[in-house]
Chains A and B, each alone.
Chain A
């Protein structure tokens, strides 16, 4: 399709081992705090403040501050949760799965993608707890020893989901941190001030770059990658089972686990694009994140998107093929009911918009890519909202049908979670290396050595 680009170099010419390290570590150690960064930080901080206010109010008053009702007892909080955890998927996929499959082009992308994963999963983890009626008892989902011998209820997918999130958060956090240790040591060695030396020194865990260290580092990375990749699939399959286990039309579907995994990668690649393009621009990373990387990401996004589109098609087909009264009615409701605009927004973003990615010119146009990625993120949020609300608001008995109307606090929690994510990410780009220096040095080394 685009042979020229496939053969394009993974690294701009003229890169040296020291040059890579200089460039990346200078971003953290030497580059002054920019005005744009401060503006973005202030905005994120304000949104995070809104989230914090919302959380306090929620704990004081109860989940009734949101627009939830009977029959729509889940809405924004769960949509936010699924959306964020899905965004988290792509980071681990890029770094771990491509690592296992020895895809060299992953190197400049891994660090910020993994960071995105850790922050997105952390943000998403807020929602299942906050959406509980009594959030202070969230630990009752854990099988802890108890005098009363009360145990969680193992048939519920919510329970497995709880384990899946916790496991995924731990593994992705470890993977992210472990892969950063050599870079932290580099920063420690280059830091000019005592404070920074201590800070990075503590984080670097005494890394001295010995061969023994590298050997253990490689083994641990491999093991964690091998552990993380199945978790990518299991977490989102579990999230899907939160819905599949229900008997509601539109939820009770066996296609959900692969569909959710594809959706997760789709939105994850979109977020990787949304974060990567500005990073590349502002931190002059064009030499590392080359057009070929961006092209690859776009292709991955298109592939995942097509799988998602296929799932949309199959869901509709299955409803009419099965001719289950409730499935058909629910599908028709999606097309033309009160929330039809949500469905058509989803289709517009997730099906129509990504078709442009078939063209190489579009994939090379960074503004267009950024726009499409933002649309995909919006579309995937609406898709989750549609899945949740359009099944709940018109279920089995017409007498109990009812609408969902978001309140100010619903919007505030969504905006606040975006604020929190970007707040964390902005801190990350100022404090930690946004590109893996050790990986990049390996890449430089490999590209400069003639291949055997």
Chain B
């Protein structure tokens, strides 16, 4: 139809934009207007040169042709196709760079945190996300939700076009409706968003509230920072954001504070924490918590206690340390005294922190303790939060206003309160009372279905924005791809309402680097806006008194709410990677469970999967139980984010919706819980069924004291590797090997999902996981030692061991698994006939089999997500970890081209890159100076099942704990 030149495309685009929104009679009038406008006539000639050839042309004839030509263009404006040609270019001209990956720096808000990322694109398609080493909240590491954002982008269930009462509509229809609004002062206009972490969005909010003084803006996060900010407010008089410095802290007490698993800044915290656990220097972590967390699992001493018990513990400790005028200085609990002594002995190098789930007084106490221990300014700084905390009852007041009929227009920006509001807030019930309900979001979710307007939101990888990390560092979010569908960002929607230009990029540049193109491109390139971190304020005035906390009578059951470790508040429920990622500690996939303590299970005679009824007052819920070692005896934990009703094909109806028991006054805990067995049982999809090491010591563990006494204390007396009948293979230039430091592994499973993203690993679904057919190439095993009440937890990532004497290779009848000259154990998918003998013979069980057609080769958008350097495996084929052979080969090609050797650190495997604590080292073990050779030279290094003489190339650094000698009995 149109000439295929760039000019023609631009002109066509301009026409489409102009025509977008024109419908029926208006469409024709718009055509006439166009035809009469000299400027547009010119544009038309560029776009549709065929028309020019039809001279002389009267107006009537022109309109006829134009109408026919533009009829389709007008329709196409509903969902404009991306400008880039999305088909990978298979036959490239010689000399042109192959499909080499390009990385772009950006930032993503995910699971309550903001991280700088590097997005890998192939031919303009974002395929993989890595942490940005220059960004303080990532330092190169990445969390599961970050990795999975790329799958979210390509999710075929994303909403694609604006919907008005369920019927396709256009943005211009909406803008026309909104235009009526702009005539008033905003009375009856309410906006509801999640926590605002974008400075530009905050500015737009302020502008909106200025333009519409009678409007109100509400914020709601199902798993926000409310208690933390309120806690600093009650301690310092003003809400502040604590920033912890684990690199300075020698003694840490975590009061139900999961700084490794769910706190903002957790990746940076994990890095700093792990750095301090390199023997012979090790910090010491004490944790008290009602439900096991990644932090508790890493603790040298972890004491499970009830939610209120944590508060009581903090008060007793404060009493012993003479802080805050609370408690009794004469507590006769020896363990508590030992902790107090240890903290006191490390003034200025200790740290007490309280978790978001604890109430304000506990936060206040933690800040007071830090003040008393001289930690402020050393191990903890306080900065002004990006914005004043939204009052706790922000959503509550909105619901009240909606119920009272005070709200004429409600604009919901990327929030889903119809699903994640606590049960005591009648959001979903009150929403229909609002005459005009507009929802902007990635999915047509529960809230969208209750609104008369649903607008597709552009994904973070498709739009311009800016984000502030937890320490205030700002980054520009840049689009990596044109919006796949008709999505627009919240910025664009607000800009339209404000009458601002829609060019968000210009808005951002004028905000951060007005007139400074160089600075702008530097910020884009590096992913961090220089010197944007907030300076610490560190107030010294601390409120002297702490309100007494209430304690519930013992014996009563309590219900704890936690954001899901992978799905967070449910926003990632349609993400198959995150649904199938085993939850750290419980190893459950596809659904949640009520976590109960072994003692309670014994008392009520419950086993895993027994369905119980949980009843809090009038509200009740049926949930399967999961017995969790280390759970406080009478605490029951449920995770939010499950039981979605309209998440999409993947997430609908997985698990149960714990919001049904939640109240907005006490969002993290409900007392007075009734639990009744129903007699039903369901099978939960867990990936690990046996939790003891059975004396086989796959994880070697000891204490720092033992290590200091004899560094080789975990090495057997006789050589671990038996002799071999076969002559050793001649050493080549490269011998790839991996070392995994169990002392640094926090069990976050970032490696598992990074591997999944890098290696095109399919999602198999709940039923297949239940059958034990999950496909993850690197799994994180979790073992317990000691009592079930307060166990020691060990994490162990297990990729392919790349055995030098690989048992899998000898049994394959067709030679589909073979060894290469660099020591890699290769799997040749094309050759595999699927006898599965290799898996039977693998003592590490790291091989994964495509029992069915797991890879989705039908859905177009998912094809675009895949890494073009890795084959997609079909059914009947065995697969396993390759040490990211595609990255090794990329390095080989680069080195060969330059005529040099591959440098140490040049190859970074996907798991290694994602690991927030840098527990994984990879490289050339033929080079004694490489990082991996040095790691393997550690006296703590060992290989798994060395007695089988498989000679694995993957080795482990033993797990050390640093218990307090004064608490020896307990250790």
Contact = CB atoms under 8 A, between A and B. Distances in A.
B843 A396 contact: yes
B937 interface: no
B696 A325 contact: yes
B694 A398 contact: yes
Contact of A401 (B689, B782, B835, B848): B689
Contact of B841 (A247, A398, A403): A247
Nearest to B950: A247
- Which residue of A242, A392, A400 has the most chain B CB atoms within 10 A of its CB atom? A400
A67 interface: yes
A68 B811 CA distance: 19
Interface string A154-170: 01111100100000000
Interface stretch (B176-184, B591-599, B870-878): B870-878
Given A71-B772, A140-B831, A247-B841, A133 B849 contact: yes
B714 to A, nearest CB: 18
A152 B812 CA distance: 9
B811 A134 contact: no
A73 B839 contact: yes
Given A69-B851, A399-B698, A403-B689, 13 more contacts: A61-B852, A61-B853, A62-B850, A64-B768, A73-B839, A133-B834, A133-B876, A134-B876, A138-B833, A140-B814, A150-B815, A151-B815, A152-B813
A189 B37 CA distance: 104
Contacts of A245: 810-811, 841
Interface in A96-148: 131-134, 137-138, 140-141
Interface in B681-739: 688-696, 698
Contact of B815 (A61, A153, A248, A325): A153
Contacts of A134: 832-834, 875-877
Contacts of B813: 141, 152-153, 156, 158-159, 162
A72 B338 CA distance: 49
B687 to A, nearest CB: 9
Interface of B: 688-696, 698, 768, 771-774, 779, 781-783, 796, 798, 807, 809-815, 831-837, 839-841, 843-845, 847-853, 875-878, 944-945, 948
Contacts of B692: 398
B850 A158 contact: no
A137 B851 contact: no
B798 A399 contact: yes
A39 to B, nearest CB: 38
B810 to A, nearest CB: 5
A327 interface: no
B772 A70 contact: yes
Contacts of B689: 401-403
Given A62-B853, A133-B833, A399-B698, A70 B845 contact: yes
Contact of B851 (A62, A74, A397): A62
Nearest to B841: A246
Contacts of B945: 396-397
Nearest to A162: B813
Contacts of A155: 810-811
Interface string A48-69: 0000000000000111110111
A396 B837 contact: no
Nearest to B853: A62
Contacts of B853: 61-62
A439 interface: no
A153 B814 CA distance: 5
26 contacts: A69-B773, A69-B851, A70-B847, A133-B835, A133-B878, A138-B833, A141-B813, A150-B831, A151-B815, A152-B814, A158-B813, A158-B835, A158-B837, A159-B813, A245-B811, A246-B840, A392-B840, A397-B696, A397-B698, A397-B798, A398-B693, A399-B698, A400-B781, A400-B844, A402-B772, A405-B771
Given A152-B815, A247-B841, A69 B852 contact: no
Contacts of B696: 325, 396-398
Contacts of B850: 62, 133
A383 interface: no
Question: Chain B contact residues: over half helix, strand or loop, or mixed?
Answer: loop
A152 B796 CA distance: 36
A184 interface: no
A333 to B, nearest CB: 11
Contact of B845 (A68, A246, A397): A397
A151 B814 CA distance: 7
B841 A399 contact: no
Contacts of B814: 140-141, 150, 152-153
Contacts of B840: 71, 73-74, 246, 248, 392
Contact of A62 (B695, B845, B876): B876
Interface residues of A, number: 49
B793 to A, nearest CB: 13
A138 B773 CA distance: 24
B815 A397 contact: no
A158 B815 CA distance: 11
Given A70-B839, A134-B832, A399 B781 contact: yes
Contacts of A325: 695-696
A395 interface: yes
Interface in A371-412: 392, 395-403, 405
Contacts of A67: 771
Contact of B876 (A63, A246, A396): A63
Contact of B843 (A70, A73, A395, A401): A395
Contact of A64 (B695, B844, B845, B852): B852
A141 to B, nearest CB: 5
A62 B814 CA distance: 20
Contacts of A141: 813-814, 833
Contacts of A399: 688, 690, 698, 779, 781-783, 796, 798
A64 B773 contact: yes
Nearest to B772: A69
A401 B688 CA distance: 8
Given A74-B836, A151-B815, A398 B877 contact: no
A228 interface: no
A329 interface: yes
A132 B798 CA distance: 27
Contacts of A153: 809-810, 812-815
Interface in A25-39: none
A162 B796 CA distance: 39
Contact of B877 (A64, A133, A151, A397): A133
Given A69-B772, A329-B694, A132 B796 contact: no
Contacts of B841: 245-248
Contacts of B698: 397-399
A162 B837 CA distance: 14
Contacts of B847: 70
Nearest to B807: A247
Contacts of B768: 64
Contacts of A156: 810-813, 837
A133 B807 contact: no
Nearest to B817: A153
Contact of A398 (B690, B833, B852, B948): B690
A157 B811 contact: yes
Nearest to A158: B813
B655 to A, nearest CB: 22
Which of A74, A151, A162 has the most chain B CB within a 10 Å cutoff? Answer: A74
A70 B849 contact: yes
A70 B779 CA distance: 13
A141 B835 CA distance: 11
A132 B816 CA distance: 13
Given A70-B839, A245-B810, A137 B833 contact: yes
Nearest to A326: B696
A246 B811 contact: yes
Contacts of A162: 813
B796 A62 contact: no
Interface in A149-207: 150-153, 155-159, 162
A326 to B, nearest CB: 8
